[in-house]
Structure 1
Amino acid sequence: MNDEPLAAVSFQGVTRRYGSVTAVRDIDLDIAPGEFFALLGPSGSGKTTLLMLLAGFDQPSDGQVLMSGTPISDFPPHRRRIGVVFQNYALFPHMTAAENVAYPLKMRGVPRDERDNRVNAALGIVSLSDRGASYPSQLSGGQQQRVALARALVFGPDVLLMDEPLGALDRRLRDQMQIELKRIQHELGVTVIYVTHDQSEAMAMADRVGVMSGGELLQVADPETIYAEPANHFVARFIGECSILRVASFDGGKGYEISGARQLLPTPSTAPFDIVVRPENVALRSIESSNPSGQFGIPVTIREITYVGSGWRVSTELDDGQSLLANIPRGHDLAGNLADGLNVIATWDPTSVAILPAEETTEANQQGEKK
């Protein structure tokens, strides 16, 4: 007997077509009770379409959507026990904050006394107990966002949907609200599905991330796995900064060669493949500095230097024209000598490398692997 709890939300073979356009294609996804799940992708990737299908504002062309094991595709939105927070908040300007929060309860016929108690509790959760009598025009953007969140939570939803809810806020306020949203989610234990195109938001807040592109779900994993072990080139490039380098394998994929240097891999990989290297894992040193015998390192030329506060982001070029990003922290031996055209040595640990099937066939791959 399977004792695992039913998924709070389940998409089973869900496809949505609009005429000849397929917005989402054959989506299979289970989201656990109490999970903070982020749908991440560029505009037009299909993430908001999935949200609308779950909320009941749209219907799938194929497949079904379930909540706790119950198919809900035929349920109207008000029967789904789902709270929704949009980017524009959608507050009624002629209502006070308390009246806005009370609106879902009023529509459900909740008695006045119980309604007032729930509204006060919801405003307390979002730290706005003293602003219930204020109108939206009297509230800051962050406070309006909190009111919208309280309104979505006030009737005790099983699932909370958030569609780019922090997009209208400045960077500092977004960072503050990320902390608040996680606090509230942990406090209430509500399942959250959070739609965003901002990978830093998704990585900072979510228990798991689903990366979408072209209507397809490309990878679902925890943030660390998504970052360190991307499923394909799109995910690697979309999540943070990276360098994807063409290499030639040797000894049946036990290692790779690039710019005349060889590095063994912790786990052999089927050739042909590319490697993904994150800039924080790249170390640069001067050509004149001592080099331990046999240490992996490749010659590169600095082409662009960007100051980032904690140090410098450096774009370098390999002898075959490929680009490699690296971070130079303050206090680094090269910090005072960085210059366009400077020749240096780049190295990285083999355990920090992600392996992907080659995106395109290189001359080396056409000739076969190195011997």
Structure 2
Amino acid sequence: MTVSALTRPGERDRLIVKLAELDWVFILALCLIAGAGGLMLFSIAGSSWTPWAINHVSRFLICLLMLIGLAMIDVRVWFALAYPIYGVGLLLLVAVELVGDTRLGAQRWLSIGGFSFQPSEIMKLGIVLALARLYHGVSAEKARLSWWLLVPALMIFLPVLLVAHQPDLGTAMLILMTGAAIVVLAGLSWKIIGAAVAAFLAIVPPFVMFVMHDYQRQRVLTFLDPESDPSGSGYHILQSMIALGSGGLLGKGYGLGSQSQLNFLPEKQTDFIFATLAEEFGFVGCVSVLILYAAVIFMALRTAYLSHSHFGRLAAAGTTATFTLYVLINGAMVMGLAPVVGVPMPMLSYGGTVMLTVMIGFGLVQSVRVHRYAEVTSGKGSFV
């Protein structure tokens, strides 16, 4: 395309129309959450932009531009790329098993040309797109109850097993629960759901005792009784609960949190940043941020509801499910209601990989919104 074509009035008008179709309230809510994260990272660094706050804010701005750019992509392009993205993600997970980098006892990273990344993050998006495409052309009867369900089950469990073997139990849980959420939303029979829940509850005890690594098993036991080892495995959660409780209603004040400022709270910039927020801004601050998260989830689900294509509905809902699981798991972990599994609070915690994954997912959600009237064929992803 020539430069003159790029500047034609018709092209500009179409771009302006698409930009106007974006949910700018949704984007504002994301900005507020990321802004709150930047403020907290500035505080816990001793009122310094380095080493965390400046990186957090700059990464968010870059990811925000990426979100807007991805939203301009026709949802039918996402449909056509669904299986390739899933396939590439699966191959990269296999590559991790063969030639992946090992850090801190876990083999989770691939290094290509000096750039290091975790393929499991690609699979978080890949599983959503692949299952959404799979169910797009499936009848309601098949989606409810059929031997055909072995196909989506296999698609889910292959990456889950590969990621769990790295080991990365937190990410494996996210992929499993996201995949399960899409299968349920697609119309799975309640009989199957009940049987699956019963089977899960029956499998958990032997899985914990005989399959988990020793450190993973210790996390579960610490969750059940953190005071059994207050200076060891229970230290993280006990310090987090102290920070949560000491904040009270209104908190100790910005920059005045003793647990974080004096470095009693571990991983204060990542996994336990919500505890830092609770200590400095109290119950009111926590509820305010949770309301922002709830608003983001509601608006994303509303986008899924408005989509005219089954693929768009499932893709937007699946992406929202991943984001919701991040919030629920981290919140439960910080409050001592779930084992510590290394799942950050999205947009609030420091970390470029999770932010990039979340913002790409929301770029997909906004693409579904902008192109909500697009008709997606159930064939090979060709445009109508």
Q: TM-score, normalised by structure 1?
A: 0.25
Higher relative contact order (CA 8 A, sep 6+): 2
Higher relative helix content: 2
Q: Over alpha carbons, which structure has the higher Rg?
A: 1
Higher relative strand content: 1
